[in-house]
């Protein structure tokens, strides 16, 4: 093409022509990427004309790349076949006919009785492979009535497919109807079963149950999403494997990420959770259903990676049960009403490089049977953090929790118990309160190493599990691990806490840590007063410093309000004070049972009582003999040991 220029105006005209000529392929490519404009198919976008049949006809005829430009679309449930690509403009508004989502199903009870149940169809029922849906915006309050608050429960449902992509989808719920915990309404962006290669990305939700739930799925990625209010962003359940949940943000969400492989707690849930299954899972092909006779609580979940997420004012950032191969890394959590990061019944579990600020119970929680657990490189902070009361119903003081809790409920002889092969190493645990410490509470640890940590205004304590019993069961210890609440009563009978002494003959090693006390008094650093078979306390540095922090009167008063749980105080529940001023010893040894205890090579500065040991409390044994070796410690305070046992009586 030859162009002859005769004037400046000709030059401008030429440039415009060339620009249009060069950009034409770009516009064509963009249109092709979005698919067929549905309005070119004769579809009316007035929000009054039901276009469901026309869209379904287009999809069934092979027109599977569809673009919904700006407009109002009245839609009902759709079946989305294989290789479909649905794209919605950000200005495409969706209206519905509520009745089109309802259907009736006859259900037969186990006793043979039948009844009719009202069900709801999903908005998009994905029936084939390689499907993507992008750009959809929808308010779950759309079409609501007084008798039908949420006509649509599930936006996208898929079963037995592969390669599903959900991107840039935004679900809100402006309904004034508050959903209560435990009700059967489950509002979900996506529910996927027996499928693989699933992606939910760059999407958002507000006040719904779950953004995505998967059952028996493989290769699931949830990334770059945002959620405010609701139960969970990700639920990864029932035999699913290979989850990557990363770079997400949430506020006021119960559990940003949950993996559900089954309950490891038969003692409280038998027979639904059979005895002998606390540590039992089966790994199968994830996109096939498990055997019909297998207990659902043995399905397990596998290969979970949770990384680089942020959560605030929720219950837990991430938690799950019966996971195998789980890595929780590089996350930040603030103001969690339970704990920041946790696991029930998990094996091969790593918590690394996470930050927890002000969690009610603990930064990290490990519950029930657990094996091969590494907690390393984390930062747990308890402090007067800027607090927004508009984002939670809880008091600020309730969030002044602990560092770590290893916990178990009631035990039963058929099952495995407690946490084993646990290493808590290389962490920074910092309490920046004026006069209330935090702790690492080892209540159910079969084999625990606490090594190489820096602990400021905190302690490590080994103790036993507890349960609530009637006060008529006299002569039992009131336990200091009790929740800070009025004990419930039944027919006027008071309840109190009972130790599970003897349930947990643990081995605990506390070595190479530095404990720094910047609070008043001689608060303890290490307490061994549970049921232990071995306790080695070696080469720790325990010292005092003057705090560099200043506190207002309001902050000091706030610390006097009771926490949700207190895992460190030695006082009995009826006269407990929150500053943990007793026992006033740096290292305290007062076990429930006989066993070997070594206290060696520790450096203790600033305590009047450096090391205090007592004889066992005869809970489990007729002998009061304690195998105790205290040697090579450097202290400037007293070392008090129990008197030697009397010599055996000669026949």
The ranges assigned to domains in the chain are 330-466+503-646
Output the pLDDT for position 275.
Answer: 87
Output the pLDDT for position 145.
Answer: 86
Q: Please tell me the distance from the alpha carbon of residue 102 to that of residue 67, in angstroms, as a whole number.
A: 27
> Per 3-state DSSP, what percentage of the chain is helix, strand, and coil (rounded to 5)?
10, 45, 45
Q: Please tell me the distance from the alpha carbon of residue 68 to that of residue 76, in angstroms, as a whole number.
A: 15
Average pLDDT over residues 496-506: 52
In what helix (H) or strand (E) does residue 558 lie, and over which residues does it extend? helix 553-558
Average pLDDT over residues 189-198: 97
Hey, what are 614's tokens?
């007592």
Hey, what are 325's tokens?
């191969």
Average pLDDT over residues 81-102: 96
Q: What is the pLDDT of residues 553-601, one digit of tens each?
A: 999 999 988 777 655 544 344 444 567 776 789 999 987 766 789 999 9
Output the pLDDT for position 17.
Answer: 44
238 φψ region: left (φ > 0), alpha (ψ -120 to 50), beta (else): left
Q: What angle do CA 28, 34, 38 make, to 5 degrees?
A: 105
Which distant-in-sequence residues (6+ apart) come within 8 Å of 478 by Cβ? 496, 497, 572, 573, 574
Do the Cβ atoms of 352 and 378 come closer than 8 Å?
A: yes
pLDDT band at 408 (very low <50, low <70, confident <90, very high): confident
Phi then psi for 296, rounded to 5 degrees? -60, -25
Phi then psi for 556, rounded to 5 degrees? -65, -40
Q: Is the pLDDT of residue 312 over 80?
A: yes
Q: What is the pLDDT of residues 46-59, one digit of tens each?
A: 999 999 999 999 99
Do the Cβ atoms of 474 and 533 come closer than 8 Å?
A: no
Hey, what are 317's tokens?
């950032």
In what helix (H) or strand (E) does residue 107 lie, and over which residues does it extend? strand 102-108
For residue 11, the SS3 value is helix
Give the C-alpha distances (Å, rounded to integers) separating 376 from 368, 454, 457, 547. 20, 12, 19, 26
Q: What is the pLDDT of residues 424-456, one digit of tens each?
A: 999 999 999 999 999 999 987 889 999 999 999
Average pLDDT over residues 164-169: 99
Q: Please tell me the distance from the alpha carbon of residue 574 to that of residue 589, in angstroms, as a whole number.
A: 23
Pick the CATH number of 330-466+503-646 from 3.40.390, 3.30.70, 1.50.10, 2.160.20: 2.160.20
b/e map 446-470, b = 16+ CB within 10 Å: bbbbbbebebbbbbbbbbbbbeeee
Which distant-in-sequence residues (6+ apart) come within 8 Å of 454 by Cβ? 427, 428, 429, 513, 514, 516
b/e map 595-618, b = 16+ CB within 10 Å: bebbbeebebeebebbbbbbbbbe
In what helix (H) or strand (E) does residue 19 lie, and over which residues does it extend? helix 8-34
Output the pLDDT for position 562.
Answer: 72
Q: Please tell me the distance from the alpha carbon of residue 245 to that of residue 304, in angstroms, as a whole number.
A: 8
In what helix (H) or strand (E) does residue 27 lie, and over which residues does it extend? helix 8-34
For residue 62, the SS3 value is coil
What are the DSSP calls for 481-520, one per residue?
A: T-BSSPPPEETTEEEEEEE-TTS--EEEEEES-EEEE-SS
Q: Which residue has the tokens 């000529």?
A: 21
In what helix (H) or strand (E) does residue 105 lie, and over which residues does it extend? strand 102-108
Q: Is the pLDDT of residue 30 over 50?
A: no
Do the Cβ atoms of 612 and 524 come closer than 8 Å?
A: no
Q: Please tell me the distance from the alpha carbon of residue 524 to that of residue 568, in angstroms, as a whole number.
A: 9
What are the DSSP calls for 182-219, one per residue?
A: T-S---EEEEEES-EEEEEES-EEEEEEEEEEEES-EE
Q: How many CB atoms lie within 10 A of CB 524?
A: 28
For residue 550, the SS3 value is coil
Q: Is the pLDDT of residue 286 over 80?
A: no
Q: Please tell me the distance from the alpha carbon of residue 458 to that of residue 568, in angstroms, as a whole number.
A: 9
Output the pLDDT for position 150.
Answer: 93
Output the pLDDT for position 627.
Answer: 85
Q: Is the pLDDT of residue 325 over 50?
A: yes
Hey, what are 85's tokens?
């690509």
Q: How many CB atoms lie within 10 A of CB 17?
A: 11
Average pLDDT over residues 164-172: 98
Of residues 101 and 503, more confidence is placed in: 101
Give the C-alpha distances (Å, rounded to integers) separating 425 from 222, 342, 374, 429. 30, 17, 8, 11
Q: Is the pLDDT of residue 25 over 60?
A: no
User: Is the bond into 583 cis (omega within 30 degrees of 0)?
Assistant: yes
Q: Please tell me the distance from the alpha carbon of residue 157 to that of residue 136, in angstroms, as a whole number.
A: 15
For residue 542, the SS3 value is strand
């Amino acid at each position: 093409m030859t162009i002859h220029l005769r004037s400046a105006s000709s030059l401008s005209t030429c440039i415009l022509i060339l620009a249009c000529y060069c950009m034409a392929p770009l516009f064509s490519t963009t249109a092709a990427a979005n698919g067929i404009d549905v309005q070119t198919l004769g579809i009316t976008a007035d929000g009054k004309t039901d276009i469901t049949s026309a869209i379904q006809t287009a999809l069934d005829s092979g027109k599977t790349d569809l673009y919904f430009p700006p407009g109002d679309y009245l839609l009902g449930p759709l079946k989305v076949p294989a290789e479909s690509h649905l794209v919605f403009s950000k200005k495409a508004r969706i209206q519905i006919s509520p009745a089109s989502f309802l259907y009736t199903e006859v259900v037969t009870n186990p006793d043979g009785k039948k009844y009719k149940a009202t069900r709801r169809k999903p908005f998009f029922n994905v029936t084939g492979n390689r499907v993507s849906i992008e750009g959809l915006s929808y308010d779950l309050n759309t079409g609501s009535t007084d008798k039908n608050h949420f006509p649509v429960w599930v936006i996208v449902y898929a079963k037995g497919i592969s390669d599903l992509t959900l991107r840039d989808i935004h679900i809100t719920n402006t309904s004034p109807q508050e959903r209560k915990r435990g009700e059967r309404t489950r509002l979900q962006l996506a529910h996927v079963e027996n499928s693989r290669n699933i992606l939910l990305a760059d999407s958002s939700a507000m006040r719904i149950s779950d953004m995505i739930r998967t059952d028996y799925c493989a290769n699931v990625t949830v990334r770059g999403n945002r959620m405010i209010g609701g139960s969970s962003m990700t639920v990864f359940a029932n035999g699913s494997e290979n989850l990557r949940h990363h770079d997400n943000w949430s506020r006021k969400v119960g559990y940003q990420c949950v993996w559900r492989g089954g309950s490891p707690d038969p003692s409280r849930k038998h027979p639904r959770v059979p005895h002998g299954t606390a540590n039992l899972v089966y790994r199968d092909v994830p996109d096939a259903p498990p055997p019909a006779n297998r207990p659902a609580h043995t399905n397990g979940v596998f290969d979970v990676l949770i990384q680089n997420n942020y959560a605030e004012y929720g219950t837990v950032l991430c938690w799950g049960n019966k996971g195998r191969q789980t890595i929780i890394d590089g996350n930040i959590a603030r103001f969690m009403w339970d704990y920041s990061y946790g696991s029930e019944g998990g094996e091969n579990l790593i918590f690394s490089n996470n930050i927890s600020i002000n969690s009610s119970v603990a930064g990290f929680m490990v519950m029930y049977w657990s094996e091969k657990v590494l907690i390393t490189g984390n930062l747990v902070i308890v402090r007067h953090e800027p607090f927004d009361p508009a984002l939670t119903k809880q008091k600020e003081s309730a969030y002044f929790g602990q560092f770590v809790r290893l916990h178990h409920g009631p035990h039963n002889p058929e099952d495995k118990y407690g946490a084993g092969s646990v290493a808590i190493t290389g962490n920074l645990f910092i309490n920046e309160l004026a006069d209330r410490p935090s702790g690492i509470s080892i209540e159910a640890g079969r084999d625990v190493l606490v090594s190489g940590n820096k602990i400021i205004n905190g302690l490590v304590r080994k103790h036993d599990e507890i349960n609530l019993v009637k006060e008529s069961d006299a002569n039992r210890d009131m336990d200091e691990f009790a929740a800070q609440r009025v004990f419930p009563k039944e027919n006027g009978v008071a309840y109190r806490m009972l130790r599970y002494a003897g349930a947990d003959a643990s081995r605990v090693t506390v070595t190479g840590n530095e404990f720094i006390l910047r609070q008043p008094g001689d608060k303890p650093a290490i307490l061994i007063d549970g049921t232990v078979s071995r306790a080695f306390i070696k080469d720790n540095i325990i010292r005092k410093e003057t705090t560099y922090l200043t506190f207002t009167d309001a902050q000091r008063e706030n610390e006097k309000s009771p926490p949700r749980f207190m895992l460190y105080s030695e006082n009995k529940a009826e006269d407990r004070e929150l500053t943990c001023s007793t026992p006033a010893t740096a290292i305290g040894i007062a076990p429930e049972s006989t066993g070997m205890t070594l206290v060696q090579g520790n450096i203790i500065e600033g305590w009047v009582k450096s090391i205090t040991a007592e004889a066992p409390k005869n809970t489990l044994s007729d002998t009061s003999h304690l195998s105790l070796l205290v040697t090579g410690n450097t202290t400037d305070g007293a070392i008090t040991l129990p008197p030697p046992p009397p010599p055996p009586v000669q026949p």
